[in-house]
């Protein structure tokens, strides 16, 4: 979930400088106008309009004990400056990711790609009222194919990564899509919607074989330590 800001100066400051300032302020428990002025390299008087806009828009909260950056300040530090993503285009990108996952999963088990077992969407896309988005947040879950393990030596020799090559196939290219692991997304406790799941006999068989290998390995270790 990325904050989208229009091209050009925002709060009177150019984008990269504002992001840098926001990153520094986000790490502070409390902040003052002077702190912003120092980060921007201007006088407090010159920094005041920017400070006041940050307060109005909820990036800085004034309390009886002073002012402090809010959670939105961290969003500002990671903001993207550019054109918005129309909802129709976001839907097309989801369809493209699902189609790519299906195509990869249709390959034989010997293929050097991971199985994509789940795709989910989260973030601003879940708000059906939003017709313009900052980006598209996707989460995925993958499981290792036998082919990935069989190609391990070749991958080392040629500096290939089965997970990265799978990711490159599934994640639509461009600045709008962010793909994270399903586990990381669940840890954040964000609402989400599953858009694709995959199961197959080959996948079930591979899971059983990997479980048997893990059990055998643990048995070998247990036997070794009993000696």
Q: Which of the 8 DSSP states describes residue 140? A: E
53-68 pLDDT tens trace: 999 989 999 988 889 9
Structure token pair of residue 189: 């406790």
Dist CA 85 CA 83 (whole Å): 7
- Report the percent of the chain where pLDDT is more than 70: 89
- Considering the domain architecture, whether residues 71 and 141 belong to the same structural domain is answered as no
Give CA–CA dist 175/33, Å, rounded.
33
Q: What CATH number does residue 71 fall under? A: 1.10.10.10
Q: What is the mean pLDDT of residues 117-129?
A: 94
Q: Residue 151: give its domain's CATH number.
A: 3.30.460
* Predicted confidence (pLDDT) per residue in 188-210, tens digit: 888 999 999 999 999 999 999 88
* pTM of the predicted protein model: 0.69
The verdict on residue 45 lying in a domain is yes
Please give the average per-residue pLDDT across 2-29, as a whole number.
85
Residue 75 tokens, joined: 């969003």
The CA distance from 137 to 123, in Å, is 6
Residue 142 β-bridge partners: 116
pLDDT at 157 over 60: no
User: Count of domains in the chain?
Assistant: 2
Q: Tokens 């990671």 identify what position? A: 78
Partner residues linked to 119 by β-bridges: 140, 196
Mean of the per-residue pLDDT values of the chain: 87
Residue 147 tokens read as 């082919």
Domain residue limits at 69: 4-81
Provide the CB-side half-sphere exposure for 181 (13 A, CA): 7
Residue 89 has pLDDT above 80, yes or no: yes
pLDDT above 90 coverage of the chain, percent: 54
Is residue 13 domain-shared with residue 109, that is, in the same domain?
no
Arithmetic mean of pLDDT, 85-97? 96
Note the pLDDT of residue 154.
54
d(CA 68, CA 36) in angstroms, rounded, equals: 12
Two tokens at 63?
A: 């309390």
**Sheet strands side by side (includes 177-181):** 177-181, 136-143, 115-122, 192-197
Q: In which band, very low, low, confident or very high, does the pLDDT at 134 lie, cut at 50, 70 and 90?
A: confident
The pLDDT, as a whole number, for residue 10 is 80
Residue 220 resides in a domain? no
pLDDT at 227 > cutoff 60: no
Does 27 lie in the same domain as 54? Answer: yes
Task: State the Cα–Cα distance between residues 22 and 205, nearest whole angstrom.
Answer: 50
DSSP string of 125-189?
GG-TT-SEES-EEEEEEEE--HHHHHTHHHHHHTT--HHHHHHHHHSPSSSSEEEEEHHHHHHTT
Give the mean pLDDT of 106-125: 93
| Residue 217 resides in a domain | no
216 assigned to some structural domain: no
**Count of residues for the chain?**
227
């Amino acid at each position: 979930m990325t904050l989208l800001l229009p091209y050009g100066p925002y709060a009177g400051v150019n984008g990269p400088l504002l992001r840098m300032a926001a990153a520094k302020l986000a790490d502070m428990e409390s902040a003052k106008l002077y702190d912003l002025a120092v980060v921007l390299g201007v006088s407090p008087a010159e920094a005041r309009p920017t400070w006041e806009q940050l307060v109005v828009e909820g990036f800085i909260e004034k309390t009886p004990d002073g002012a402090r950056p809010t959670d939105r300040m961290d969003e500002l530090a990671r903001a993207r400056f550019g054109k918005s993503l129309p909802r129709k285009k976001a839907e097309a990108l989801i369809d493209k990711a699902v189609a790519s996952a299906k195509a990869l999963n249709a390959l034989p088990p010997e293929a050097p790609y991971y199985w994509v077992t789940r795709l989910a969407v989260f973030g601003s896309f879940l708000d059906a009222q939003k017709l313009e988005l900052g980006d598209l947040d996707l989460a995925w879950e993958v499981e290792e194919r036998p082919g990935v393990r069989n190609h391990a030596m070749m991958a080392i020799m040629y500096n290939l990564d089965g997970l990265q090559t799978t990711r490159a196939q599934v994640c639509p290219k461009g600045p709008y899509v962010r793909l994270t692991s399903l586990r990381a997304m669940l840890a954040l406790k964000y609402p989400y919607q599953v858009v694709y799941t995959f199961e197959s006999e080959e996948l079930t068989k591979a899971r059983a074989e990997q479980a048997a290998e893990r059990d055998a390995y643990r048995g070998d270790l247990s036997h070794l330590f009993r000696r």
